[in-house]
Structure 1
Amino acid sequence: MTASSKTHILFDLDGTLVDTRAAVTECYSIVFREELGSPFPPPGFPVGELFAMRPPEVFASVAPDKVEVLHAAYRAAYPRCASLVKVFAGVRDLILGLRQSGRKPSIVTNKGLERTLIDLKVADIPADAFEVIVTAEDTIDRKPHPAPILFGLDKAGADGSDAIYVGDGPQDVLAARAAGLDAVAVTYGFYASETLAQLEPDHLVDDVAGLAQALGVSMPAEVAG
């Protein structure tokens, strides 16, 4: 069964549907400045791994005795940064096109539910366009562990043979493979094409138009380009 014929398309969020780099970086900057009195990122922090980490993991790496306080501050600060969230051009049409054709898009993200819903609202993507939304609250393990994807499949009542996972990071490809799903890796997100290609995903696409083509979705002319 090809990607264009699968019913269930599970998507990562950050770097795949929405560009949250500016919003997340600004939110961390606020927390570090207001709670720790220091700039972000701190010296030696693995910035390249930032978007694969949950906030408690970030805070545990710099202030393990203040994780809960800092995480609460992060959640409180995020709405102040939400205007910086951008949707990748064409993504809204892609999701709605999948839904209108009778297929079932879902979200499986390492992000928390509250911030996921904020991102979707800013991006003008209806939350009810998704069959299920799996977030950090649903599983202890995070990608690249397959648990979030497996939870999403179960919640959606989906068979893995009729599903595919779409993400922008190595953790997405690895999680999909561990869950027994084919993986689509997008290079327009937070990770370099060379990094993703080394993992040999089933599909490697460079833009939303290419993603739509791989998934068999017709797009408006200005997106399909």
Structure 2
Amino acid sequence: LWPRAILFDLDGTLIDSVPDIATSVNLLLVSEGLVPLTVHEVRSMIGHGIAKLVKRAFKARDIALEGARHVAMTERMMDIYKDHLTDQTVLLSGTEDILRHYQGTGCRVAIVTNKPEGFSREILDHFELSAMIDCVVGGDTGPERKPAPDMLLHALKQMKVPASDALMVGDSPADIDAARAAGIKSIAVHGGYTPVPASELGADITIKDLNELPDAIAQLKH
């Protein structure tokens, strides 16, 4: 059996959460008397965790958030976003079928995301996906965040699977760079939250959406 474990990113890979994240960012900006961002602008800011997102959002309004103020704004963003986790967020095409399929084959399935673990679990519960997932590693779980390899290696340790038997599926440079650093094969999915085209991320294979994952895995086996 290969892979024995698949590590999935969450935002932009399994779910489209941009509308809810954009709503939350804009509630924060407006509360500070700032002009809201477009959904398109917010989309390109996602991927390195909420603190980085908040910093980028304020920078887009010519405000450099540092130190205690950055911490305070990040905490406010967390408070706002926790009330809007699943208002407009939807599953991306193939998500449920793919998770069910690989869980059924005996492959271990993990979510490795820079989103906070609690928020991630709440979203998975909302979509009734939690039973198909063996391990969730979030941006606040402990290990250093993607693009460092630590979160991926932490998930594999929990599931007792070596890196050579694992596969990372994601949509951003953070995902693919983390996989490379961990010595894990990777598949990049088009249409995620990155200004860099999926085909340029350096993954072993690029797919249009998750429905193409089984064929891509068959190619990687050979």
TM-score (norm 1): 0.83
Tell me the equivalent position of 2:74: 71
2-side partners of 1:195 and 1:188: how far apart?
A: 8
Change in Cα spacing, 1:137 to 1:79, as seen in structure 2 (3 Å) is closer
What's the secondary structure of 1:84's corresponding residue? coil
Tell me the equivalent position of 2:62: none
Tell me the equivalent position of 1:219: none
Q: Is the 1:153–1:159 contact (alpha carbons within 8 Å) kept by the matching residues of 2?
A: yes
Aligned match for 2:33, one of 34, 37, 57? 37
Deviations 1:3-43 (A, max 9, x none): x8211000000000101111111111111212x2212349x
What's the secondary structure of 1:210's corresponding residue? helix
Q: Is the 1:186–1:211 contact (alpha carbons within 8 Å) kept by the matching residues of 2?
A: no
2-side partners of 1:176 and 1:96: how far apart?
A: 23
Deviations 1:84-138 (A, max 9, x none): 111012211110111112111101111101211232233332x232111100112
Alignment of 1:187-202 (within 5 A): 187-191=190-194, 195-202=197-204
Asked if residue 134 in structure 1 is aligned to residue 124 in structure 2, the reply is: no
Q: Is the 1:184–1:202 contact (alpha carbons within 8 Å) kept by the matching residues of 2?
A: yes
Deviations 1:175-221 (A, max 9, x none): 101100001000032236x73322331111002211233246xxxxx
Tell me the equivalent position of 1:98: 102
Alignment of 1:49-128 (within 5 A): 49-60=44-55, 62=58, 63-64=65-66, 65-81=68-84, 82-125=86-129, 127-128=130-131
1-side partners of 2:36 and 2:149: how far apart?
A: 31
Aligned partner of 2:204: which letter? D
Q: Is the 1:12–1:166 contact (alpha carbons within 8 Å) kept by the matching residues of 2?
A: yes
Asked if residue 13 in structure 1 is aligned to residue 16 in structure 2, the reply is: no
What's the secondary structure of 1:117's corresponding residue? helix
Q: Is the 2:8–2:111 contact (alpha carbons within 8 Å) kept by the matching residues of 1?
A: yes
2-side partners of 1:79 and 1:66: how far apart?
A: 20
Identity %: 25
2-side partners of 1:120 and 1:132: how far apart?
A: 12
The gaps in structure 1 that reach 5 residues or longer are: 217-225
Q: How many residues align?
A: 207
Tell me the equivalent position of 2:169: 166
Aligned match for 2:205, one of 184, 203, 207? 203
Whichever structure has more helix as a proportion of its residues is 1
Kindly state the Cα deviation for residue 69 of structure 1 after the two structures are TM-superposed.
Answer: 2.5
Deviations 1:43-95 (A, max 9, x none): xxx85641123222233454323233222222222243221111012211110
Larger deviation: 157-166 or 49-58?
49-58
Asked if residue 185 in structure 1 is aligned to residue 185 in structure 2, the reply is: no
Larger deviation: 24-33 or 177-186?
24-33
What's the secondary structure of 2:45's corresponding residue? helix
